[in-house]
Amino acid sequence: MLTMAVMMLILASCSNKSLQPPVAAKKPFVVESNGNERIDDYFWLRLSDEQKNAETPDSQTVEVVKYLTAEDDYATAVMKHTEALQQKLFDEIKGRIKEDDESVPYLNNGYYYQTRYFIGKEYPVYYRKKEGVDSAQVLLDVNVIAEGQKYTSVGGLSVSPDNNLMAYAVDHISRRQYTMLFMNLNSGELLGDRIENVTGEAVWANDNKTVFYVTKDPETLRAAKVMKHVLGTPVSDDKLIYDETDETFAVGLGKTKSKKYITIVSNQTLTTEVRLIEADKPEGKAVVFEPRKIDHLYSVEHLNGKFYIHTNADGAKNFKLMSCPENKTGMANWTEVIPHRSDVLLENFEIFDNYLVADEMIEGLTNLRIISLADNSDHFLDFGEETYTAGISVNPNANTSLLRFSYSSLTTPNSVFDYDMAARTKTLLKQDSVLGGFDKNNYESKRLWATAADGTKVPVSLVYRKGFVQDGSAPMLLYSYGSYGSSTNPSFRSSIISLLDRGFVYALAHIRGGSEMGRQWYEDGKLLKKINTFTDFNDCARFLINEKYTSPENLYAMGGSAGGLLMGAIANMEPQLYNGIIAQVPFVDVVSTMLDATIPLTTFEWDEWGDPRKQEYYDYMLSYSPYDQVKEQDYPHMLVTTGYWDSQVQYWEPAKWVAKLRDKKTDDNILIMDVNMTAGHGGASGRFERLKTTALEFAFILDLEEIKE
């Protein structure tokens, strides 16, 4: 990694005090694939991990860091007149957060587990309390781990079955390459075992000394190898349990609810394969549950001598639930528990001794269905709002009639309930406190339907402060994601109140590429149908303009990562619909990234975007790739964000895109890039520090609306 002294030297030499935007040098580079050639003038902005981590930077590293810093300085200079507004927004948003907060405890293996936050502290403190005992034990104080660090992420907390040991993982770089550590919970002392470059997942065998973990490829960061470590032995002696050699797959670990089996899950966009190891026999072999087959996605759970399988086999596009005996896992032995339905997406399930809970998406909204295993009778929870999001929460215990679930809406803060499935009564355990005088009765949410160009009805959720006048004059922030089948759920965000209270409407476009309307909704927004995602968003924008919820002069779009790709595409396709665009860590250099198998995430995402080594996909991806499609035209005002250590969307994608936009665009609209040199894909790690970026984003669009306070 660049030393602090060297970094400070570079930064001091390139401080940009003027309001002239940086101009990146053009250094033509030929990107070639299967006879296809493109000239990339800004390819030189790409640094390797070796260059970024070098003790002494080479000339290219110095030049790239100078350019990134110049962009960040320019953004700061352009937004300097909004500093007071940014501070006010930051104080507002932070002021709504209850600083001394705590999660609802859950019981697992004789202990209640809870997370707490304290006033002025950025990071959580993890606790546990033995059942029937009043005093709590500190498991881990992340604030202590973060002392002196610019970035800290802690994950993978996993307590041994005998409750005496704990594994956890730490990342101080933001590359999601964790170091696994082990603690004796009786003494609080760290063990000597230390495992580098892991995903953070740790699963204990039932002998309380054997731990399974996953290592990452040092270049691509693909989770590829499952290893077994015995505490007290050298890490160099760890045994390879499974090596996923197919570069389009990644592996993950789990443990069944029965605690009887450890699961090794190989997965990619279209295919899953699960292996099982008996937790009582960590020396045993990993046995395939059902061999992988292209287009077969499945997951398994185990309880009371039965396996339950969530699967899309035999044309069950929206998934179905099957079961089989413990000793006969082949598909021929599967029997139906919940059938496939063309109009209901079975997203998830939770199994108890006497109940089964199905998480089902129906017309874009989550429904929780309770099924009695005694007589197969069922009923749904009633949430009572027009647009909302709900989900199954932490339920480690099977011998209970209580379901823990979460709920929120655009006007209802995040809430945790226990639902008695026998008595059919629900108890609110906690609703997030929203300070600063928030009253949900001051706001109203709606669910509308826009019509896409091909006639498809697309749901839109929106919220505004009561008193809103539907005459086209209101500013609006329209958000979406639209990829990987990930639905844009209408959940509560306390930060948005700062916009609503200043007259904004906040809207979510539930476009194709997500799964809001079922698996086909996802299928119709990927690969050779990906452009539907972008046209759906533009059609939602047009609908909201035509219905006078806003106007092109007052409409702002926002999306991050793959949603940043969406932002880049709509900016190229119909820039006149938007006054401003916020592209957060945007994935915009689609073709070049998907051509390069050394870049993290590339190989197992060919089934999402297409493999551009094949001409059909190359041509289609090129037709919408935001970086490649930048043209001489007017663009909206734009704010782009990136992180130097981003392992999911490398910083050079937004950097190259901004450089090309500067060269091509024909307007005088604002184009700035906020560069975080110490963070990755998720931005700053502290719970308050990251709010500074939100304040910057909100100040950007408020300033364009000439709202100064």
**pLDDT tens-digit series, residues 414-462:** 999 999 999 999 999 999 999 999 999 999 999 999 999 999 999 999 9
- Residue 592 known to be catalytic: no
Backbone angles phi, psi at 415, to 5 degrees: -130, 145
Contacts of 250 (CB under 8 A, 6+ apart): 222, 223, 224, 244, 266, 267, 268, 604
SS3 state at 145: helix
pLDDT, residue 682, reads: 61
**pLDDT tens-digit series, residues 41-52:** 999 999 988 898
**pLDDT tens-digit series, residues 472-516:** 999 999 999 999 999 999 999 999 999 999 999 999 999 999 999
- The pLDDT confidence band at residue 615, using thresholds 50, 70 and 90, is very high
pLDDT, residue 458, reads: 97
Structure tokens given for 406: 């979460």
**pLDDT tens-digit series, residues 47-99:** 988 898 888 999 999 999 999 999 999 999 999 999 999 999 999 999 999 99
Q: What is the pTM of this model?
A: 0.90
- Residue 646 known to be catalytic: yes
Q: Give me the CATH number covering residue 653.
A: 3.40.50.1820
**pLDDT tens-digit series, residues 561-611:** 999 999 999 999 999 999 999 999 999 999 999 998 777 667 768 889 999
pLDDT, residue 18, reads: 52
Q: What is the average per-residue pLDDT within 18-22?
A: 84
Q: Which residue has the tokens 């109940």?
A: 355
Asked whether residue 13 carries a pLDDT value surpassing 80, the answer given is no
Q: Are 669 and 661 in contact (CB under 8 A)?
A: no
Catalytic residue among 296, 302, 340, 681: 681
Structure tokens given for 284: 């045993």
Domain that holds residue 634: 4-12+25-94+444-704
- Residue 561 known to be catalytic: yes
Q: Which residue has the tokens 């500190």?
A: 138
Report the C-alpha gap between 330 and 291 in whole angstroms: 9
Strands in 106-108's sheet, in edge-to-edge order, are: 106-108, 111-116, 125-130, 137-141
Note whether residue 151 is domain-resident.
no
Report the C-alpha gap between 639 and 674 in whole angstroms: 7
Report the C-alpha gap between 142 and 584 in whole angstroms: 27
Nearest to 558 by CA among 575, 536, 580, 539: 580
Catalytic residue among 445, 487, 561, 685: 561
Q: What is the average per-residue pLDDT within 271-276?
A: 96
User: What is the DSSP track for 6-65?
Assistant: HHHHHHHHT---SSSPP-PPP--EEEEETTEEEEETTGGG---HHHHH-SS--HHHHHHH
pLDDT, residue 5, reads: 37
Q: Are 246 and 318 in contact (CB under 8 A)?
A: no
Give the DSSP H/E element, type plus range, for residue 624: helix 615-624
Lowest mean pLDDT among 162-176, 388-402, 564-578, 677-691: 677-691
Structure tokens given for 660: 């090309």
Q: Are 556 and 477 in contact (CB under 8 A)?
A: yes
Note whether residue 106 is domain-resident.
no
Catalytic residue among 646, 647, 674, 703: 646
| Torsion angle, alpha carbons of 264, 266, 267, 268, to 10 | 160
Looking at the structure of the chain, the number of domains it has is 1
